[in-house]
Amino acid sequence: MEAGLPQNPKGTKRLAKELKDMEKDMIEDVVIEPNEENPCLWIVKIKGPVGTPYEGGTFALRMDMTKEYPFKAPELKMETQIYHPSIRFENGEIC
């Protein structure tokens, strides 16, 4: 996975607008950290839900808006090693 600026400058503008919209209506226990050098690479940190085996943990997810964004969905990968049936333990890929 290699993050890159969208080929279309409108993609970068759209990302900035989407981030601003999300900051207005933040989801509790979720933090979005755009990469300062590459606005198309975000780290999303999620606190584990209360009452689950993940409670008390903070889990980082890499969100890579590729050069094809917004015409292609972002690529996602867990940065925090986690045991979950939808996440490949060895590399964090979401399946």
Strand pairing partners for 41?
A: 64
Residues 79, 44: Cα–Cα separation, whole Å: 10
Residues 42, 81: Cα–Cα separation, whole Å: 17
| Annotation says 95 is catalytic | yes
Residues 74, 83: Cα–Cα separation, whole Å: 22
Q: Which of 2, 20, 51, 95 is catalytic?
A: 95
- What are the residue numbers of the active site? 95
